[in-house]
Structures are given as structure tokens and as C-alpha cells.
């Protein structure tokens, strides 16, 4: 890990949602940088398997707790230099199955995580999402765009929980001078995603490996900007190490359609699967690509893993785990 991805005075970090897909990669990277890491997760959607290889490493501790509960602050003794708040169901399957828990962790969970950071004088970083832009009317989406979100639609429990969390972080920074920032993550994918995650890449990869039909929503023309998990982790930690208070987009630079993703996965796996078109979910975004000008100019960050190479690595992971 490059020294530019951490502050010299960081000694101990807590990653909420640390047993999840992205959280587990963050735990791993911070340990490699020499930090002590507390991984906090209630295992609603996280998985101990994601951190099994870390459990015996010096400096790593798993704390099973619910960040939405007031006692979570006491369970996480600290003191911490860095609080990465990544606890939240992130896939449509998960947040539609757990709508109230999603809203709770975005509100009470974020408040409790902020209290941890304020208590210890730590740097705080909220994992927000491209979903705050909803089905955008501006393309690509820059941090100054306010979004086009349906506040009562089926995706609203996730979209609005993140928008509220951003407001909480902003208020905390302004009122209590908490050293707090926001990173808006776009379409991260890679190893450790769950097979039943419901998002495009793991769904298509697992269907292709099993020679099952790839279920493309609508006509597949809707676009995404995929970002491989290693690049996302780099971006997240650079935002954390900066003094940035305003939100920063971290996402892929290549905009591809869902149909293109399906076709590329078929090509890379050599699968005999066909594409099956299914109904498109309500409020599914038509076009999505991060404007990462701020990340490039402020942090000198840009993704280094192309979407085809990232898919190859992800396919290798799912093929290996069976």
C-alpha cells in the first residue's frame, strides 16, 4: 500500500460493515499498511468468510455489533484515528429485504459512527453511493449535481438513507468540527461479492459459469461505470487521507451498457448461456457514469484496472470458490 493512502499519524482504525464485500478489502489494506483494525459488523449481510483469513493476524479484531444501537459506541472502545463507516445493505436484494434496517443504519448508525469519531478526534469517512443521484438527468454525474431521486419508490430506503447520512456528516462537520468526509462509490465489483448479491456482475458471472440464462433487465441499454474493488479501495483511502469535507466521486471511467457486460462475460467464460431479457426494475437508472474530475485533480486518483481485466479477475475468483 502506498504511503499516500494513509496519514502518518494513523495507528488504529475501525471499519463498520467490515465483514462485507468492500469493507473486508478495506480491513485487509489497512492491516497491510500497519494499522490495527477493528472490524465491526452485525452480519446481517456481511460474512465471516470474508475476514476469515484476517482473524489470526496481529492487530485485527472482529466485533459483532449493530451500529444502529446506542451501545455500539461502548462496544467499540478505541481510541481510533480513522472511522470508515461502510455498514449498510448495499445490493438491491439486501436493502429490499431489509428496508427498515437500511434506514436505521443510514440514520442512527451514521450518528453513532460519527460519535465514535468525535469522541476520539478521528478522521471520519462516510461510504455514500452513486444512488444519491437517483435516475440522473445530468450526465456524467458530478458532485455538484443534486440528483433525481424518487423518495417513496422501492429503492428509496437505500437512496434516502445515504442522502440523509450525507446531511448528518455535513452537519456534524459544521456544528461540531468533526474531521469528516464523504466518498460516493460507483458500481464497485470484484472478488468476495456474494453469488446471490443481485448486482449485475456477480449475477451474470455465476449464471454464465453455471450455463444458465443471463437475466438482462429491460433491453440492456442502460449504462454503468464499473470500478474494480482494488481501484475503489485506493480511492476511498485517498479521500480518507485528504482533508476533503465535500463529497468525492470514486468510479470507473469506462461507461458500458448492461448488455455489453453480459456479452463480455459470456465471451470471457466461454459459456453456452444465452441472454434472457426480463422486466426492468422500477427506478432503475438509465445512464450512470461518475465525473471523477475532482478525484483526479484533488487526489491524483484514476482507475487503473480496465473493466475487461477486472471481469477476468472476478470470474477467476468465482470459478475458484465453486
- Decide if 208 is inside a domain: no
Using only C-alpha atoms, the chain has a radius of gyration, in whole angstroms, of: 19
200-209 and 258-269 are packed helices; what angle lies between their axes, rounded to 10 degrees? 30
- Decide if 198 is inside a domain: no
What pLDDT sits at residue 159?
96
* pLDDT tens digits, one per residue of 223-281: 999 999 999 999 999 999 998 889 999 999 899 999 999 999 999 999 999 999 999 98
For residue 207, pLDDT beyond 80: yes
Catalytic residues: 158
Q: Is 61 exposed, middle or buried (0-12, 13-18, 19+ CB in 10 A)?
A: middle
- Decide if 195 is inside a domain: no
Q: Which domain holds residue 16?
A: 3-188+227-253+289-304
For residue 50, pLDDT beyond 60: yes
- The mean pLDDT of 166-172, rounded to a whole number, is 97
- Decide if 200 is inside a domain: no
Q: What is the CATH number of the domain that holds 174?
A: 3.40.50.720
- Decide if 131 is inside a domain: yes
- How do beta strands 180-185 and 123-129 pair? parallel
**Does residue 12 or residue 2 have the better pLDDT?**
12
- Decide if 272 is inside a domain: no
Domain count, the chain: 1
Nearest to 228 by CA among 199, 262, 256, 252: 252
Amino acid at each position: 500500500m502506498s504511503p499516500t493512502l494513509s496519514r502518518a499519524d494513523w495507528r488504529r482504525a475501525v471499519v463498520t460493515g467490515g465483514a462485507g464485500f468492500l469493507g473486508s478489502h478495506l480491513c485487509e489494506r489497512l492491516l497491510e499498511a500497519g494499522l490495527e483494525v477493528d472490524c465491526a459488523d452485525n452480519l446481517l449481510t456481511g460474512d465471516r468468510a470474508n475476514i476469515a483469513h484476517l482473524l489470526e493476524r496481529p492487530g485485527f479484531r472482529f466485533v459483532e455489533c449493530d451500529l444502529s444501537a446506542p451501545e455500539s459506541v461502548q462496544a467499540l472502545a478505541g481510541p481510533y484515528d480513522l472511522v470508515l463507516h461502510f455498514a449498510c445493505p448495499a445490493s438491491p436484494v439486501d436493502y429490499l429485504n431489509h428496508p427498515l434496517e437500511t434506514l436505521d443504519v443510514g440514520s442512527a448508525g451514521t450518528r453513532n459512527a460519527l460519535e465514535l469519531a468525535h469522541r476520539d478526534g478521528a478522521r471520519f469517512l462516510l461510504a455514500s453511493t452513486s444512488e444519491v443521484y437517483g435516475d440522473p438527468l445530468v450526465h456524467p454525474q458530478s458532485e455538484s449535481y443534486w440528483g433525481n431521486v424518487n423518495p417513496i419508490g422501492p429503492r428509496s430506503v437505500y437512496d434516502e438513507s445515504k442522502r440523509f447520512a450525507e446531511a448528518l456528516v455535513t452537519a456534524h462537520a459544521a456544528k461540531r468540527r468533526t474531521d469528516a468526509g464523504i466518498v460516493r462509490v460507483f458500481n464497485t465489483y470484484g472478488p468476495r461479492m456474494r453469488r446471490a448479491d443481485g448486482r449485475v456482475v456477480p449475477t451474470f458471472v455465476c449464471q454464465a459459469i453455471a450455463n444458465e440464462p443471463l437475466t438482462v433487465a429491460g433491453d440492456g441499454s442502460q449504462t454503468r461505470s464499473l470500478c474494480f474493488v482494488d481501484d475503489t479501495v485506493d480511492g476511498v483511502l485517498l479521500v480518507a487521507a485528504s482533508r476533503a469535507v465535500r463529497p468525492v466521486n470514486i468510479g470507473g471511467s469506462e461507461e458500458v451498457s448492461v448488455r455489453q457486460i453480459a456479452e463480455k462475460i459470456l465471451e470471457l467464460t466461454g459459456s453456452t448461456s444465452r441472454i434472457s431479457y426480463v422486466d426492468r426494475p422500477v427506478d432503475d437508472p438509465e445512464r450512470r457514469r461518475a465525473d471523477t474530475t475532482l478525484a483526479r485533480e484533488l487526489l491524483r486518483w484514476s482507475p487503473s484496472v480496465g473493466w475487461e481485466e477486472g471481469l477476468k479477475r472476478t470470474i477467476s475468483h468465482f470459478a475458484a470458490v465453486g
